[in-house]
Amino acid sequence: MSVLQGKVTAGFLAMAYALGLLLWLALPGQAADRIIAYTGYLPPLSIDEERKGISVELMELVAEAAGLEIDIRFAPWKRAQLLAQTTPGALIFTLGQSQERREKFEYIAPLLYTESSLVTLDQPLDSFDKAIEAGKLVGVHLGSLRSRILKRSGITNFAEIPSAEQMTTMLQTGRIDAWYTMSLRASYMFRQLGYDPKRLVVGAPVTHGVQWLAANKSIEPHIRARLTKAVSKVWRDPRYWQIVDRYAG
């Protein structure tokens, strides 16, 4: 072999090695896969970057089980949904289901099952009809599926409020009469803001919900499959209920 032939062969082998390395890194199942996941400020499910929240910690377990690096980003809930809808391959959690949302997102797996009630500081409200009869002003999270449920139930006397912190203070000070939310959230927020959670009067559950992990419609099928399998694994992980109980206490 001539010197020239040797140089050409060595150059070809180097190029082949570099191309092979790039292809290996791109293969499904490699730990190098990284994915963006959006969520809102929805305590205690998702609180913030520092305090995390139930669903944030669960998503970290899901990423671990799926062999993915996850970049969790917080935004006001309506904006988080828009960002997930316009970011190719992005995830979003925790998302309730509706026909409109199914047209925008690919639903992957349920992260958490929840119950929602009408929470007051005086009389129990065990149904939407009782709230209507009592003329109560009901607070509900802005951009949430619950606001649509209130409309469908015939409640017109309600206020959409941007944050759980505002909702908590408004209930405490009498600016709203009831809060349509998870009892877990109401109790958590009252403790966080220094109010007495024992004052809360929690009505019977009026709705049951599923908090989903969903994704941008462009998500790769192999990533979706890994996430579905990972969520199933996390449901059987002892750490699942340890996380839920820590925030519920």
Q: Residue 80 is part of a domain; what is its CATH number?
A: 3.40.190.10
* 154 plus 40 within the same structural domain: no
* 202 plus 220 within the same structural domain: no
Number of domains present in the structure of the chain: 2
In a domain, 233, yes or no: yes
In a domain, 18, yes or no: no
Q: b/e map of 68-98 (b: 16 or more CB within 10 Å)?
A: bebebebeebeebbebbeebeebbbbbbbbe
Q: How confident is the model at residue 247 (pLDDT cuts 50, 70, 90)?
A: confident
Structural domain harbouring 60: 34-113+210-248
Say what the pLDDT of residue 61 is: 98
Least confident residue range of 55-64, 66-75, 239-248: 239-248
Q: How confident is the model at residue 160 (pLDDT cuts 50, 70, 90)?
A: very high
Question: Under 8 Å CB-to-CB from 30, ≥6 apart: which residues?
Answer: 24, 67
Q: How confident is the model at residue 144 (pLDDT cuts 50, 70, 90)?
A: confident
Say what the pLDDT of residue 95 is: 94
In a domain, 86, yes or no: yes
In a domain, 239, yes or no: yes
In a domain, 221, yes or no: yes
- The model's pLDDT over 187-201, given as tens digits with 9 standing for 90+, comes to 999 999 999 999 999
* 121 plus 162 within the same structural domain: yes
* 77 plus 148 within the same structural domain: no
* 185 plus 219 within the same structural domain: no
Q: Reply yes or no on whether the pLDDT at 19 is more than 80.
A: no
* 173 plus 216 within the same structural domain: no
Nearest to 159 by CA among 184, 183, 141: 141
* 44 plus 166 within the same structural domain: no
* 154 plus 87 within the same structural domain: no
Q: How confident is the model at residue 13 (pLDDT cuts 50, 70, 90)?
A: very low
* 169 plus 227 within the same structural domain: no
* 68 plus 189 within the same structural domain: no
* 55 plus 92 within the same structural domain: yes
Q: Reply yes or no on whether the pLDDT at 203 is more than 80.
A: yes
Q: What is the pTM of this model?
A: 0.76
**Euclidean distance between CA atoms 249 and 239, whole angstroms:** 15
Q: How confident is the model at residue 143 (pLDDT cuts 50, 70, 90)?
A: confident
